[in-house]
Amino acid sequence: MDRILSYFDMLPWFPENTSTFGGELDSLFAIIYWISVGIFFLTFGIMGYFLVKYRYDRNRRGYNYHGNNVVELTWTVLPTILFAFIGLYSDDIWERTKYSSRLPKADVQVLVMGKQFGWQFLYPGADGQYGRNAYTHRDECRKLITALNPFGIDSTDPNSMDDFTTENQFKVPVNANIVMHGSSQDVLHSFFLPHARVKQDVVPGTWMNIWYNIFKTGKFELACAELCGGGHYSMRAEYEVLSKSAYDAWVDKKVAEAIAARSPQPAVAPQADTATVASLTK
Amino acid sequence: MSTATIETTTTHAHEDHGHDHHHDLPWYRKYVFSTDHKVIAKQFLLSSLFFLFIGGAFALFIRWQLAYPGKPIPVIGSILPDSWVTEAGSGIITPEFYTQLLTMHGSIMIFFVIIPFAAGMFGNFCIPLMIGTDDMALPRLNMWSFWLVPPAGLIMMAGFFTDTGYAAAGWTSYPPLSAQTGLAKFTISGQTLWTISIFMVGFSSIMGAVNYVTTVLNKRAKGMKLFDMPLTVWALFITAILVTLGTPVLAAGLAMLFMDNFLHTSFFLPDNLVTSSKYFGGGQPILFQHVFWFYSHPAVYIMILPLMGVVSDVMATFSRKPIYGYKAMVFAIAGIAFLGFIVWGHHMFQSGMNPLLGTTFMLSTIVIAVPSSIKVFNWLGTLWRGNIKFSSAMLNALAFVSMFIIGGLSGVFMASAPVDIYIHDTYFIVAHIHYVLFGGSLFGIFAGIYYWYPKMFGKMLNERWGRLHFTLTFITFNVTFFPMHVLGLGGHMRRIYDPNVYDFLKGLSDVNEVITIGAIALGFAQLILVFNVLYTLKKGKRAPRNPWRANTLEWAAPEHPGHGNFDSDITVYRGPYEYGVEGRKADFWPQWEPGASKTVNHRTVVVEDESRTFGAH
């Protein structure tokens, strides 16, 4: 039986799951999938049987029967119960993964800004506090947004001294609640981490909550899932999930670089880290 | 029962009979700017078939690129111009042209193929004939509803000759991308033309729809109650209500988008975008998505409900059985239509709208599965104890039902918002939409063409070619679209030019190749249909008046009805699906034949049978 079922099992096509809620989403998919396989065989079985059994025979007539309300009621109520179950169960998971009120306490915060065609990230640095920028002070700092200062950072704010940016790559610690706030500087993009089962459109002018907690270290990919122009396909970034100590070391290094770059001339916007991304293939 | 006598026994040709005063019309009023609903239906058929091939060709370009990225397109690649269409001298399409192709494929297939086929062709052809009247209530408006389509199509295709090419923001055209903030004010781009074109076809839909509603409510034959109407008419009637309520909203959205795009207003654009043009800002991009899907979700039902009606009629006729649960079917259609207006947000689960709304829209969306399953079970019930003839029309109708089951089931996945997080904007969605719109709507359209072609052109289509066309289409359709579910599970985003950029998609290139081979075969299989239509038009067997021995009123009309449709007065005596009635010699009992019956235990029993021998053959 297991072997027969395995022929219909499409689930192994999923990329490996790496996030805490990803397992839940996958098992919900599996529940709906196996219910669907059941309904598929039920309906196709009935249909195939009828098509063979009641195929044309010149000596027979179709049965004049207009239907029966008890039968209609049965096949109205049964699917209602089944689908209500799917709906309520789904909603429970939906509330836990997406509701703003269920946003977990952040261990690490990052701002992400999509652009045609790439991803930019802003880390709050060692103090864990952003300086004034378009996320913390939308009204004042949005007008500072330019192609070179996508986050609208106000560099006169001392808190922004240790804020640092990266482009097309980011790093996060393992087993920590990462809370990102995402936006876009031009058109719609969608922040898609296939392995972590994360997807959230980012919309210019608004900040979206994105959170996840990854339990596996390694290098993974970030893709854009919303058509954003000709270069949509190439809007790829890489991220690395590091152990806590390796992550802290990386942050310290980036903070030092950011401060060094800004010290002589504090009024200039921070330089983005534009290192090109090497392919993951070894 | 009235004793009105009805002349229905003639089986000879009536083509020249009828309303002679119409023959005074000049040729261009008869064949071009005609107000005859049947001519308009044929015009919709021709224009939709034409666009079907254009849209299909675009799809093959897309498929070639996905299966063989970086390889020149065979034959055609070398004649495509350089610049933004192909990489200079290589025959490889550019990423920009790729996004234009996918935009045009979606827009053409939805607005110029499926909707004109479903609402335009079947609405025009079936409604007056099936309710037993001479024409639409407003024939001139009807003519306009067709004659907006060709110029709209030309305007959209003219995008190719603008500096930036066709529209390239997807058929959904979400701003800010579709507002094209990088272009100067008053620039006519492909996107501007797209907006104008869709606005025009929207008006075409509205004109058709108000006409359908008026006609169904006011022009039914004597004795025909609403619940005597065939399901095709019911479905078209309910669809027309959807169109009249939904399309004006789309028109409003498109008007705002046009102003953002062309006049640099900012209905949908926030302040301080990083762009070369100056906008005031203050707009909200997500607003467009709400407005767009408020129409475009009902539009999904506009594209499938008429075909549900068509398929019901075809299935009853070829199962020689009444539709199981006729009233339940009507209520299910109405239920789907009503729910269609409160579920639009399920396209936007990941869009950034408040997740609280996600809960609402998820629950309302999942409810749609209930009327859909009612319909499926009733179709199965219709097959039960039937006497099933596998004609080309019936095969296509059965394909509709079975593919709709798969498409409906895959819809449950994305209705569940948490599952949608992962599969949203992947090929899983592409698989779903094609199972519903090709596996569903297009097979339904084929079923309808095979079924009504005899009445439309007075000739029989060749059944053997019909079955060959069906078999090839059915197989290649599944080879093409089923593996797309697999791509989706692998995380393959839709609308990407080259999947090989991503490491996590590298294992899927074989799947992409299989799909492309299937798609090419699928495209060529459609030539059989075109050949069948064109060949039988000239050399086909003449169709008898009622070739399928069916009950509905269109078969009371002459073989190839002229302007005015019927050669006798029509009175309706019973519902449309009285097949296999006990006590009658023939296994069908047309709606127009006098007689009385009663219902015993859900079965119809003859009380008085006044009909003369009705010979179809």
**Sign of the Cα pseudo-torsion (B407, B411, B412, B418, in order):** positive
How high is the pLDDT of residue A274? 47
B176 touching chain A per CB within 8 A: yes
Task: Name the more confident of B424 and B29.
Answer: B424
**Is pLDDT above 70 for B175?**
yes
CB–CB of A64 and B579 under 8 A?
yes
Mean pLDDT of B76-96: 78
Which residue's structure tokens are 């106000």?
A154
- B322 Cβ under 8 Å from any chain A Cβ: yes
Instruction: Give the best residue of B257, B271, B272, B367 to mutate against chain A (max A CB count within 10 A).
Output: B272
Other beta carbons within 10 angstroms of residue B537's beta carbon come to 14
CB B257 within 8 A of CB B167: no
pLDDT in tens, chain A (282 residues): 777 778 788 888 999 999 999 999 999 999 999 999 999 999 999 999 999 999 999 888 999 999 999 999 999 999 999 999 999 999 999 999 999 999 999 999 999 999 999 999 999 988 888 999 999 998 889 889 999 999 999 988 888 888 999 999 999 999 999 999 999 999 999 999 999 999 999 999 999 999 999 999 999 999 999 999 999 999 999 999 999 999 999 999 999 998 888 776 544 455 545 444 444 443
Span B480-522, pLDDT tens digits = 999 999 999 999 999 999 999 999 999 899 999 999 999 999 9
Among the partner residues B170, B352, B489, nearest to A227 by beta-carbon distance: B170
For residue B441, the tally of other CB atoms under 10 A from its CB is 30
Task: Tell me if the bond preceding B262 is cis, omega within 30° of 0.
Answer: no
In this complex, the residue of A90, A201, A279 whose CB is nearest that of residue B416 is A90
How high is the pLDDT of residue B75? 76
* Chain A interface includes B401 (CB < 8 A): yes
Say if residue B67's pLDDT is above 50: yes
pLDDT digit string, tens, across residues B115-147:
999 999 999 999 999 999 999 999 999 999 999
B181/A186 Cβ within 8 A: yes
pLDDT digits (tens, 9 = 90+) for B296-318: 999 999 999 999 999 999 999 99
Which helix (H) or strand (E) element contains residue B287? helix B285-319
Q: Which of A24, A61, A232 lies at the smallest CB-CB distance from B587? A: A61
Read off the pLDDT of each residue in B589-612 and give the average, rounded to a whole number. Answer: 85
To probe the interface with B, which of A54, A64, A197 has the most B CB atoms within 10 Å?
A64
Cβ of A20: how many Cβ atoms within 10 Å? 17
Q: Does B378 touch chain A (CB under 8 A)?
A: yes
Closest by Cα among B299, B285, B200 to B251: B200
Q: For residue A154, which phi and psi values (nearest 5 degrees)?
A: -90, 100
The rounded distance, in Å, linking the Cα atoms of B406 and B509 is: 24
Identify the closest residue of chain A to B416 by CA–CA distance.
Answer: A90
User: Residue B78 pLDDT more than 80?
Assistant: no
Residues B385, B292 contacting (CB under 8 angstroms) = no
**Distance between CA A94 and CA B418 in Å, rounded?**
5
Q: How far apart are CA A59 and CA B115, in angstroms?
A: 41
Instruction: Verify whether the Cβ–Cβ distance B384 to A199 is below 8 Å.
Output: no
Strand partners, B504: none
Q: Which of B236, B212, B400 is nearest to B330 (CA)?
A: B236
Give chain B's end-to-end CA distance (angstroms, integer): 28
Residue among B378, B518, B541 at smallest CA distance from B461: B541
Helix (H) or strand (E) holding B604: strand B603-609
Alpha-carbon span B130 to B218, nearest angstrom: 14
How long, in residues, is chain A? Answer: 282
pLDDT tens, B380-433?
A: 999 999 999 999 999 999 999 999 999 999 999 999 999 999 999 999 999 999
C-alpha–C-alpha distance, residues B132 and B566, integer Å: 8
Q: What pLDDT does residue B612 have?
A: 57
Write out the E strands in chain A. 108-115, 118-123, 164-167, 169-173, 178-184, 189-193, 198-202, 208-212, 218-224, 237-242
Residue range B524-574, pLDDT digits in tens: 999 999 999 999 999 999 999 999 999 999 999 998 898 889 988 899 999
d(CA B521, CA B50): 19
**Residue of B96, B279, B366 to mutate, testing the A interface (most A Cβ within 10 Å of its Cβ):** B366
Give pLDDT, residue B372: 94
pLDDT at B181: 86
Distance separating alpha carbons of residues A66 and B321, to the nearest angstrom: 9
ipTM metric: 0.91
Is the pLDDT reported for residue B584 higher than 90? no
First-to-final CA distance of chain A: 39
| Cα–Cα distance for residue pair B233/B572, rounded to 1 Å | 15
For A166, the 3-state DSSP assignment is strand
* pLDDT for residue B202: 95
Q: How many residues does chain B have?
A: 617
Provide the 3-class DSSP secondary structure of residue B388.
strand
| Separation between Cα atoms, residue A134 and residue A154, nearest integer Å | 9
Q: How far apart are the CA of B139 and the nearest CA of chain A, in angstroms? A: 36
CA distance B274 to chain A (A): 6
Strand A198-202 and strand A169-173: the pairing is unpaired
Which is more confidently placed, B290 or A265? B290
Query: Is the CB of residue B217 less than 8 Å away from at least one CB of chain A?
Result: no
Residue that has been written with the tokens 């972590």 in this structure = A196
Answer yes or no: are the C-beta atoms of A192 and A180 closer than 8 Å: no
Q: pLDDT, tens digit, for every residue of B428-478?
A: 999 999 999 999 999 999 999 999 999 999 999 999 999 999 999 999 999
Query: Residue B472 in contact with residue B526, Cβ under 8 Å?
Result: no
- Cβ count near B460 (within 10 Å): 17
- Percentage helix, strand, coil for chain A under 3-state DSSP, each rounded to 5: 40, 20, 40
Percent of chain B with pLDDT over 90: 79
A11 vs A205: CA distance, rounded Å: 37
> B276-285: per-residue pLDDT in tens?
877 778 899 9
Strands of A15-125, DSSP E: 108-115, 118-123
pLDDT value of residue B611: 64
